[in-house]
Each structure stands twice: as structure tokens, then as C-alpha cells.
Amino acid sequence: MKLRNRFVIVLFLLLDAVAVPAEPAKAEKKAPPTTAEVLAATKPSDWRPLDLDNTLYIELPSGRVVIELAPKFAPAHVANIEALVRQHYFDGLAILRSQDNYVVQWGDPNADDKEKARPVPEAQKSVPAEWSVALTKAIGFTALRDDRDGYAPEVGFAGGFPAAADPKSGQVWLAHCYGIVGVGRGDPPDTGSGAELYAVNGNAPRHLDRNTTVVGRVVSGMEQLSTQPRGTGALGFYEKDEHGATIRSIRVAAEVPVSERTDLEVMRTDTPAFRALVESRRNRRESWFRASAGYVSLCNVPIPVRPTPPAPKL
Amino acid sequence: MKLRNRFVIVLFLLLDAVAVPAEPAKAEKKAPPTTAEVLAATKPSDWRPLDLDNTLYIELPSGRVVIELAPKFAPAHVANIEALVRQHYFDGLAILRSQDNYVVQWGDPNADDKEKARPVPEAQKSVPAEWSVALTKAIGFTALRDDRDGYAPEVGFAGGFPAAADPKSGQVWLAHCYGIVGVGRGDPPDTGSGAELYAVNGNAPRHLDRNTTVVGRVVSGMEQLSTQPRGTGALGFYEKDEHGATIRSIRVAAEVPVSERTDLEVMRTDTPAFRALVESRRNRRESWFRASAGYVSLCNVPIPVRPTPPAPKL
């Protein structure tokens, strides 16, 4: 059906889209590759498995959300979130907020009620802000060429996350792109703990950069969060508890039985293959496109995720 | 509840947020105004009513979506869409596609089936592409100061829509920000008619600029579109017709009885008040923010919409 082919754009966060068969460029073709061709030509070494000790599964009534945590960028918060998860803190809590074109947020609906709030005996109630870290070699920041970003001197990728950097101050931080996960906080900077988290569900709110601690990004199941009915209260908070979906559980992937895991690989962002992918987004080669942008903004670069391919037979 | 005050950000597209009481800056305060203060200080002349002849109401089972059309940017497509609407073409058709972080699209599920496709006796089946128009004074383009946009030489606003311009080529076009509405088409540029439309539901896909005809933007009820369950087919198309919400009707607002209209005003984008609003987004003044971006991207500038205030008593 021709209709189904409109906007022939492979959105790589959709797992099935990654599986779309794509012909590699033939030798006689001189045209630069499309995104599908770049992906089809990747080698196993262009991908990395998720670190299961730093991967979370959120189980919602509608399905699973998989979050890759970023301990290099927020070590204390990631440790605290994992402590909360290990004591099953989140099980039975809820989505608290769903604001259109901004964020969806989850945690304890009674967090502000001293009598009803769920206790956190084995975790910190607040953690000092981790809004940026030192731009060391270990952080592995790769700048986007020709970035023209308004929010930071440099933007690019670090360890598979969208990031921004200021070489002058020597700092680097994760950028608020779609699906990024951050820590809710009150007015004072050090009031977040990871017990309340949010994910970006709309146009990249980059003005939040360096105003919250970013702890990771959704690598699968984002649609479970983005389609939550919008809250009717101020800022998209639900006015009645029954409107927010219940969190069945949050678990660290390594603690989930092997048969129940979601095996995913993330494309490495420091390879020639990834540079080719970025180039294929700067100038779209698919026949549908007529005007080439010659540019791609940080948050429009997909960081591909795919099911782990079966091991080759010996 | 303190929790409810986290992220104290007034999202102006949410009508209730506009009604949040805000204190205007006191005379003794020298600090530049917050967005809420800018809005509270607006005069009636900073707002304009919707042109009811160029406003559409989409009635979905979950509620109404209001779209402001942009006849200056796509006169032939807007005329064709209005012809389709006047013959009730869309009534009983459906949401066809909901792709996470990209677009939601609606039209005739049988458009490609010659026998089942709904006929369009009094409208064009295809309309020549209207991807940009001449940058004349009449178009009223106001550039964002300090825009640093990667996708176009200049960005700003035109008649209340986010727009981009190229003074060298003398062209201006509407920009693919969240909520923008465009015309679906096949591979050849002139295959769109307005019988199939989409709205942006994620991070601004600016690479679509000048690749499709943009006909307007959603000014109310975007959440009815953005929360549509994601289609499981390629590109977010629904694989089974029953998954797509049915369109009860689409009407031109002027043809709806007065008592059933949604009376809205849109903030003018060519006033000192709007410039102050943009400035309040460049550097957020709310106490919650600690790091100032000193910049706002085109698609992060809200174009405020509010219910029309009651007429003053004589």
C-alpha cells in the first residue's frame, strides 16, 4: 500500500524499524548511504550490550520501559536510585504527572505527606546535585561536527548519551533530548534523590540542562510513558490519584531472571559507522526528501537500539 | 503541596496554565519579568481572536482539537482542505498513524483502495506543493534576535506561526515545531491534497521543513492527538483499523453554532509584549532555575493561547 510508505523515515528507536530490510549500497552506486544502508552495513563491534547492572525495567500495566542509566554523569544519584530499586521502593507507586510537550514524572503520590510517605530506610532522602561533570578523556565525549547549537558551546555524544560541553569551564553534561530521564527536585538544588524521576515527552527542553541531575535515557518502551493521559492539574499533575498509571515494579535488569530480560544492544556513538549515521541524517538520501537540511540538531540524531542478535552458530 | 510545585514552569499552551494568577513585577523590583509576569501585563491588543473561517475543529471520541490554518502560507491547500471539510469528507475517517516522537496522521484508511476510497467530488485530488512563499512585507515575518538556528538562515514568527526564512532566496516557510500541521504526500512532491494531514508529536523534525506543505498548527487539544496509542506497523501506522481513533467530524469553526464554539485568543507575535515573552524564555527568571540558557530555540518559544476573556461591561 502506497499510503503506508508515506514519510519513509526509519525511526530507529522503534525496534521493528531497525529490522526493516535494507539493501546495502551497490558498488556501482556513488550516492552516500541512507540511514538504513548505514545500519545494514554495521559490524557487531559497532554495537554494545546494555550494562545490566545499570539498566532499569519499569513495569507498567501497558508494558515495560527500559532505561539505561548513566553512572558516569550522576554516580551518587544512580547509586541511590539503584538502592531504592533494590528495596522495591517504587513498586505500587504511580505516574504523578504527564504534561503535554514537556515531561512525564513518577514517584510517590504521598511524598509530601509525612504520615503517608513511603519510607526510604536504606537510601538517601536527598543527594547533592550532579548537573555536570569534568570533561575528562574517560567521559568519552565526541563532538558533533558543525553543531551550531544555541544552548552550549559544543554538543555531541558521550557513552551513548546526547551531551553538551563547555571546553572553557571543562564541564560536560547530558542534554535534555526526547526520552532523557532526570531527577525531580524542589526549589533548592540539593532536594532531589531519584525517588521522583521524569522523562522528556516533547520538544527537547534544553533550558533544563544543568538545572537538574540527568541519570539516563529510555532505550525501549518510551511509548508507554509518552501516551500517558495528560494530567489536568497545573503542570500536568494528576488531580485525582486514580488517573496516574500504577508502577507494578522497577527492577535492575541484572536481578531479573534471564528468561524475562529484554536483550538490547545500543549503537556505539564513537565509531565511523555512527559518524556515517549522523551524516545520513544531515542530508537525507531517501527519495522522499527533496530539500536537504545540510544539518542535524543534537536531539534529532537517533541513537539506534536493536534486539541483541542471536549468537552465531559454531 | 510542595510536590505539585516542582518544575514551576507555566506551559502556556495549556489553557489552565494561562489562568494561573501571577503578580506583576512591583515597582521596587528591578528584576526582568518572568513569563507569568509578562502575560499578566499584556493588554487586550496583544491578543488576536482566531479567524473562524480558517479554524478547524476536529471532534475525536476523547475531545476537540482546534487547528489554526495558515492560508498565507498554503492558500491552495487550505482552500482544498476547507472544501473537503465543507462536504464533511473527514467525518467517520480515522487516525491512521501514531509514531512516537514524530507525527500523528489522519485521513481515509482506504485511500489507496480505488473501490473503497472515499470520493472527493468537490475538491482537488492533488494540489501543487506549497513549501515556501515569498518573503514579502505582507507575510509579517519577525526574526528572533540571536537565533543561532542550524536549519535556516533566519527563524522567527509570521502571523502567529513559527517560521524560517532565507533572505538570499527571498523565501519564508513554516517551521516543523511541536503541534504544527502538515500535508501527507507520496514520493512525488505534488501528490498531497490535504485529505491526509499530520501533526508533530515530538522533538521538532525540522528536516521536514520545505519537504511538505505546512497548513497550520494545533492551538488547543493537542493532547488528544499526542496520546493516541502508537501504531505497531512500520512508521507507526496502525496494522488493524480498529486501533485508530475515529474522527467524528471536522468542521470550519464559522459553521459551528456560536454556543458550540471554542473561543480562543492567540498572543500576537509582532508586539513588544511578545518580545518580552521571548526574553523571559531565554533567561528563566523563576526561582527554580539556577542555570540560565541565555538562549531559546524557535520551537521552545510558546505562542500563548487563552480563552477569550468576557467583554467588559458598559
The pLDDT tens digits for B73-92 are 999 999 999 999 999 999 99
Nearest to A212 by CA among A176, A237, A179: A176
Give pLDDT, residue A187.
93
DSSP three-state, residue A170: coil
Nearest residue, CB atoms, B211 vs list A147, A291, A296:
A291
Nearest CA in chain B to A188: B288
Report chain A residues whose CB lies below 8 A from the CB of B94: none
Report chain A residues whose CB lies below 8 A from the CB of B227: 226-230
Rounded Cα gap, residues B217 and B232, in angstroms: 26
CB contact under 8 A, B210 and A291: yes
pLDDT over 70 at B27, yes or no: no
A61-84, pLDDT tens digit by residue?
Answer: 999 999 999 999 999 999 999 999
Rounded Cα gap, residues A112 and A195, in angstroms: 12
Nearest to A305 by CA among A204, A185, A219: A219
Where are the extended beta strands (E) located within B169-240?
171-174, 180-183, 197-200, 214-220
Å between A67 CA and nearest CA of chain B: 16
State ipTM.
0.91
Name the residue type at position A308.
Answer: T
Residue A188 contacts B where some CB pair is shorter than 8 Å: no
Q: Report residue A88's pLDDT band, with 50, 70 and 90 as the boundaries.
A: very high
Grid cell locating B61: 471520541
Å between A293 CA and nearest CA of chain B: 6
B173-216, pLDDT tens digit by residue?
Answer: 999 999 999 999 999 999 999 999 999 999 999 999 999 999 99
Residue A185 contacts B where some CB pair is shorter than 8 Å: yes
Please state the pTM of the whole predicted model. 0.91
Rounded Cα gap, residues A227 and A60, in angstroms: 12
pLDDT over 80 at B243, yes or no: no
Alpha carbon distance, N-terminus to C-terminus of chain A: 41
Instruction: Enter the DSSP assignment of B159.
Output: T
User: Alpha helices, DSSP H only, in A183-271?
Assistant: 222-226
Nearest to B143 by CA among B124, B120, B123, B167: B167
Residues 63-82 of A with CB under 8 A from B: none
Nearest to B162 by CA among B185, B180, B147, B135: B180
Angle at B224 between CA B219 and CA B225, to 5 degrees: 85
**CA of B38: how far to CAs of A137, B47, B116, in Å?**
44, 13, 53
